[in-house]
Structure 1
């Protein structure tokens, strides 16, 4: 039977939606603004805008309410499974390092523990952990061997002078670590019979320079004590495993990480467990490119679940609040969906680092040329103060520039070039004793006219953890005919006249800085000795800049001389000029 057209339906055909009402045409501008009632009527007739589609990922804490217990593995069996999986992976993938005893899961737990207190093992762990702070493993290996060759025992380190300690450490950076090791070894040998304590709380209390992390490392790795530890790798691993998005730099976040490390600690093999955690963070669970496919703990990792199974993640987070007397978590911060990276790499959460503050200074590399007694040129080095940045290290004569806040009122915007000229004025006037000249020079340019070695070579930048420092490098080459081997003991010459053009506070600061530097120890070292001395990386950059500048000048000298080569004095007979007939001659 035929179906009437009015009744026939096409299941694939969709109902036509009513078209939205159009806004009335705008009134001429001569009528003035529309009354409020008309504007409201028009707005009511406009169709509502469609809401933006929501992302397909689950809500992230704290928009998704969850309990504090959500940041734990659900059962003891899960914790045991995580421990077994990580230790099995560590046994097969651990790196062979000179300070590490390999982990063998075939042995009984009692066989993997130290059978007795081994002070030598504790010393080796201590040195390695201090070296590994803020330094890559591949860099530390060579320095560790050098250190143990020079200071094989804690007593040998305590007996060594600090200068030798710095020489062995030279190039590793953060020299305060070497100084703390040296001071700690002296205290252990003097007050603790040369043996590092086995308990973490005693280590933390009795040994100078040992913090909570180092105490946990020595106690667990060397002595087998059930002590947890937390470093950057461990923080990253734990926050991803347990989806903790709290700020790990705040006190509450720090407390959470240490509690989580304590709860997950495998007390049967604490040293190997701690090393396995750090190994996972260093090799697989890296900050920006984690290799989750190879991770042995992937089945239990909550951050991985949040990214790949968001619905299940959200359900578990909500169900964590259903148990009675459960406290809601208020530490977690929301993950940022605008960041162009995965959810996993947003753990751990940290507050943005403050940019390093800008500082600048003037470095004066003072050189005496070679003599018939010495083949190499020699350079003046001054020892830095015993406290503060780069304490007790040797460096060229360096004068810190004044900060704007330290300048006089009205002079707060003094430029770096002005302070540099002021410092040069004082330095040059003091160095006049080397050359036999007494007049004061207001600028290095005037000194350079009489002693061409005084020049501004250039600038180098070195970034510390909290300071971005610009070093303006000056080179002053002394004349051997007048140079002395010692600095004068009298105060800097009083510079009148030209110095008055500079800010008096800048000049006073320069004189004070120079006197303070020269009041400390200073030495003359050859270029060969300089290569083996413990000087900071920034000073090495300054010397490299000077060497490059010298090489550039010397490379230009032969070409310059070739262009200026005088003609030979041998008389040559000039060729006669060609005559006009020569051009018409038959060839």
Structure 2
């Protein structure tokens, strides 16, 4: 769990320096680091990943069976069974079930002739029993309607077989039939989001489509099945949800999140903490999770409450370049948000100012109005932070006569025709590793 310090106020892009004339409401475009634009880079990425996979891949029964099976339909069946079992289930659990299943029903014809009771009995304990039922339904359809031949393309697999979605169809088509088609599962999503520093919600249609496009661009035309398995293997064993083993990653040199770690660490630490000796190690998620999104200024929450408070005060004073009414500094509570790869906790602070500081803002930061905040590219987590702030008693804020429509002076205000709440100033967190 990562704990940050957060408060309402100025916004800045996470790890990015916007141009002076680019307001926070400016629609964001896909950044170059979200893409693989260089064909040579793609070739080198494939080679690095496949070379690692050849040396480090786990010895799994479905891989051995598929690799040694010459009959295409039997090969496809062996992959199909493994992919269905691996849905929502850990590899260690699946191994035993897969072995028993293939011993009992080694071919599609064998499974098609089994009873549903037999299928459920062998599936007992694996969970999600509809998977076994649909697997048998698919086997019967292949035998009775498709002449015993499994469809050869991802499109037809998804169209004709019950319980086979886009990912499963791509896995079968690439591994069993050598179709050059990419796949995107949870592991691949995590790898691609980190490698290309994609922080938006991968469940959104636009991001999902972008990830599938990346997967299709990257898949090796000579070894599509091995490449897809390598990408999944990397996510499962190295690029893990928590504590990724970045030093062991074969594609670390291509990882934009890692590059941002290396580039941003010193600059962020000096800007927010004020001294190089207080620099902390930034992690992959820090520099990739919220890439290209606006966020509040931040400081890591480390040590005791008093230590955290002193660090916060120091960062705030550095940020505004002057004294602050620290008696109004208040902790408002915590906001927990689960991103696509990580759970983060924001400790939210507010500080009411009588007037906006007149000094220059740090590079890449600016004051915003409520309307600009709502229109800007900000994460759901930032909106939760603002909601927590706005839910506090009015005594936690000072009133100002400045116009709520003035983007240079107003904070997230109540709207036209009403008195503007002065923008609070706090230290937005940078996630740090839990002790």
TM-score range, shorter chain: 0.5 to 0.7
Partner of 1:176: 130
Q: Which residue of 1 aligns with 2:16?
A: 59
State the partner residue of 1:225: 179
RMSD across aligned positions (CA):
3.8
Q: Which residue of 2 aligns with 1:197?
A: 151
Flag the 1:236–1:88 CA change in 2: closer, same or farther, 3 A.
same
Q: Whose relative contact order is higher, 1 or 2, with alpha carbons under 8 Å and at least 6 apart?
A: 2
Aligned match of 1:89: 52
Deviations 1:160-188 (A, max 9, x none): 01000000010111111111101111111
Is 1:281 the counterpart of 2:235 in the alignment? yes
> For 1:139, what is the secondary structure of its paired residue?
helix
Deviation at 1:309?
Answer: 1.4
CA change 1:151–1:339 in 2 (3 A) is farther
Distance (Å, rounded) in 1 between the aligned partners of 2:211 and 2:165: 16
Are positions 1:157 and 2:103 aligned together? no
Deviations 1:432-462 (A, max 9, x none): xxxxxxxxxxxxxxxxxxxxxxxxxxxxxxx
* Conserved? CA contact 1:249–1:350, under 8 Å: no
CA distance in 2, matches of 1:306, 1:313: 11
Q: By percentage of residues, which structure has more helix?
A: 2
**SS, match of residue 167 in structure 1:** helix
Residues 157-556 of structure 1: pairs in structure 2 closer than 5 A: 157-310=111-264, 333-334=293-294, 348=340
- Offset at residue 276 of structure 1 (A): 0.1
Q: Equivalents in 1 of 2:211, 2:30: separation in Å? A: 17
Tell me by how many angstroms 1:53 deviates: 12
CA–CA separation in structure 2 for the residues paired with 1:101 and 1:86: 20
Stretches of structure 1 that go unaligned for 5 or more consecutive residues are: 1-51, 104-111, 315-329, 353-587
Maintained 8 Å contact 1:243/1:347: no
Query: Do 2:196 and 2:255's aligned partners in 1 also have CA atoms closer than 8 Å?
Result: yes
Deviations 1:82-116 (A, max 9, x none): 1111111111100000110499xxxxxxxx999x7
| Matched position secondary structure for 2:88 | coil
Q: How far apart in 2 are the matches of 1:193 and 1:138?
A: 34
Distance 1:57 1:182, change over 3 A: closer
Counterpart check, 1:133 vs 2:78: no
**Residues in 2 aligned to 1:203 and 1:58: alpha-carbon distance in whole angstroms:** 43
**Aligned counterparts of 1:102 and 1:257: Cα–Cα separation in 2:** 29
Structure 1 residue 68, shift from structure 2 partner? 4.3
Between the aligned partners of 2:89 and 2:218, the Cα distance in structure 1 is 26
Name the residue aligned to 1:145. Answer: 99
Q: What do residues 7-48 of structure 1 show as CA deviations (whole Å, max 9, x unaligned)?
A: xxxxxxxxxxxxxxxxxxxxxxxxxxxxxxxxxxxxxxxxxx
| 1:273 positional shift | 0.1
Q: TM-score, normalised by structure 1?
A: 0.42
